[in-house]
Amino acid sequence: MGRRPDVFILVLDCVSAHEFSFVAQQFQGLDRVERFLHESAKFERAVAVAPWTLPSHASILAGLYPWELSPDPEKPFRIARPGVRTLPSLLRDLGYRSCCLSANCLVSPLTGLTDDFDACAWGRWWDIYVRTGGLRPPNATTRHGADPAHGSSSKVAPSQNPLLDVAPLLARAPSYGRWVSHVVQKVRSPSSPPTTNIAPWIEPTLRRWLLGQGEDTPVFGFLNLLDAHEPYYPPFSSSGGAKPMPRERVPRQDRTGWLLGRWTPSSHEQEALQRLYRSAIRGLGIRLERILSILEECRRGPDPVIVLTSDHGQAFGSDRALFHSHGTEEALLRVPMYIRAPGLSSGSRPPRGWVSLIDIVPTLLRVIGADTTALPSARAIQDVANDGWSRPVFAYSTGIGMPRASWVSPQVRQAIDGLRTVGYQANKKVTVGPTAGVVETFDLETDPFARTNTSRGREWDAGEPLPEVLAFYERISASRTFAPGLPVERRLKSWGY
Ligand SMILES: [Zn+2]
C-alpha cells in the first residue's frame, strides 16, 4: 500500500460527553471544528475506564483495561514494559514517528506513560493554577534524552515539590490565581494579550514538530489539552483589569474543603462553576480550530485520521461527585468520541453499541491497514459500532483508597470512597461497590443520568452485565494494595484546615 495516513489523538482532559455535545452546538464560526464534527463518526455511548487521568491514558495508549495492565490495579500506569505494547511503539514498527504534547504533567516521562514516544513535551503541575502564557514547552525530551531545542527535561515528581502546599489556597480563592496569572504574563511579555489558556505552547510546538518531519514519514501525534480542568478562571478579555475578581464571579473551587466536609457548593456556586466549565469547553473549541488549521497547513500524504475524545468527565456537586478522580457518575465516565477516518461513516443515525477508550488502539490499526494485535477486551470500533449492542464495556473507581483517609468527611466517604466497578450493556448500567453486596442497576433509556437505582427487590436480568462486574470487583478487591502516600494530615494542617 502507499504511504499510511498520519494519525492524531486529541484528548480534551476533563470534558464530559454530555457537556461537550451541549457546547458543540455553539461552535458556529469555528468552521474547521464544525466540519470535523460533521464528518466524523460520533459514538454517543463511549465510556472512560476510570474517572481520572492516569488509568484512562494508560488504557488509550495500550488498548487494555487498567486491571489488565497490571496485577496491581492501584498501579497500572507504567505501561512501557515487557509484554505491553503501546500505540506509539506499534506505529513505530510501521514506520511512524510519534510525538506527545501534553498540558497534563501526568502524561509525561514522570509516570512512564510516554516512554515509547519519539518526542514528548509536557506541562508543569502548577500550570492549571498559574497560567504563564509561555509559547515554549517547559519540559521536553526525546527517546534519546533531553531535547535542548525545546526546553529542559525535569524529573521532579509533582508530589515532591514544596510549592504544592500553595496550590490548594489558590483553589480556595481562585480569583487570586487568576490575578497572579495576569501579573506573571504582564511581566513576562507586556505586549501580548493575556490568556487563561493552559499550556498555549502546544499549538506552536505541534507545528514546529510537524514541519520538522520528512514528507514520506507518517506521523502519530498525541495531544492533551487541559483547559477544562479546575480551577476555572473567567477569560481576561471579557472582564478587563488585573485586580482579583469578586467572589461571585469566580466561585470557590475547593475540592479539599469538600472532601473534609467543610464546604459544599451551593446551587448558585454549582451553576456558576458549570457556566465557567462551558466557557472553558468553548475555549477548547477555539484551540481545536487552530490545531485543525495546523494539521491542514502541515498535511502530507492522505487525509489524517483524527480521534477526538477525553480521559474522563467532570462533575459539579449536583450528583455525588465534585470535579473528578473518584466516583462512577455518568458525568465522570461518559466521554466524547469522534473519529474521522476512512471506513467509519458519519451516518445520520449514531451507532448504538458501547465503546471504550481501550478500543482506540485496534480501531486505529484497522484504519491504517495494520490490524494485527491481539488484545483481550478491546475491539475495533468498526466491528462494534452497529452490532455491538450486546457487548459490555467496563470501568472502575478505586476510591480515595486509603486507610489513612480518616480525614475525609463521612458523607463524602460514603459517596465516593471504596472500590466501585461498573458495566454497561444494552440500556443498562450496573455498579458494584463499595462492598461486594451493594449492587445498583440503572435503566439508561428512561434515566439517562443513572440517578434511580432499579435493582431493589428484583432478580438479576440476563441482559445486565452483573456477573462480569461482580467478578472483576472480587478480583480487584482481592489484589489491591495501598501505596504509602503524601503526609496528608500535615499538609492539611499547613493549609489551615
Ligand atoms: Zn484527566
What does the alpha-carbon distance between residue 158 and residue 455 come to, in Å, rounded to a whole number? 42
Residue 489 grid cell:
494530615
Regarding pTM above 0.85, the answer is yes
Ligand 1 geometric centre to CA of 190 (Å): 32
Ligand 1 geometric centre to CA of 312 (Å): 6
Ligand 1 geometric centre to CA of 394 (Å): 18
Ligand 1 geometric centre to CA of 215 (Å): 33
Q: Can you give the pLDDT at residue 403?
A: 53
What are the pLDDT digits (tens) for 51-103? 999 999 999 999 999 888 876 656 656 665 677 899 999 999 999 999 999 99
Ligand 1 geometric centre to CA of 457 (Å): 37
What are the pLDDT digits (tens) for 408-448? 888 888 888 888 999 999 889 999 988 888 899 999 999 99
Class of domain 7-390: alpha beta
Ligand 1 geometric centre to CA of 48 (Å): 10
Please identify every residue whose CB atom is under 5 Å from ligand 1, which is an ion.
13, 53, 311
Q: Can you give the pLDDT at residue 127?
A: 92
Q: Can you give the pLDDT at residue 421?
A: 94
Q: Can you give the pLDDT at residue 32?
A: 98
Q: Tell whether the model's pLDDT for residue 146 goes beyond 60.
A: no
Ligand 1 geometric centre to CA of 133 (Å): 21
Residue 61 grid cell:
495508549
Q: Which of 35-49, 146-160, 358-372, 472-486 has the lowest mean pLDDT?
A: 146-160
Ligand 1 geometric centre to CA of 80 (Å): 19
Ligand 1 geometric centre to CA of 212 (Å): 29
Ligand 1 geometric centre to CA of 311 (Å): 5
Ligand 1 geometric centre to CA of 15 (Å): 9
Q: Which of 18-32, 244-258, 301-315, 326-340 has the lowest mean pLDDT?
A: 244-258
Q: Can you give the pLDDT at residue 321?
A: 86
Ligand 1 geometric centre to CA of 460 (Å): 34
How many Cα neighbours within 13 Å face the side chain of 307?
A: 30
What does the alpha-carbon distance between residue 354 and residue 367 come to, in Å, rounded to a whole number? 19
Q: Can you give the pLDDT at residue 72?
A: 64
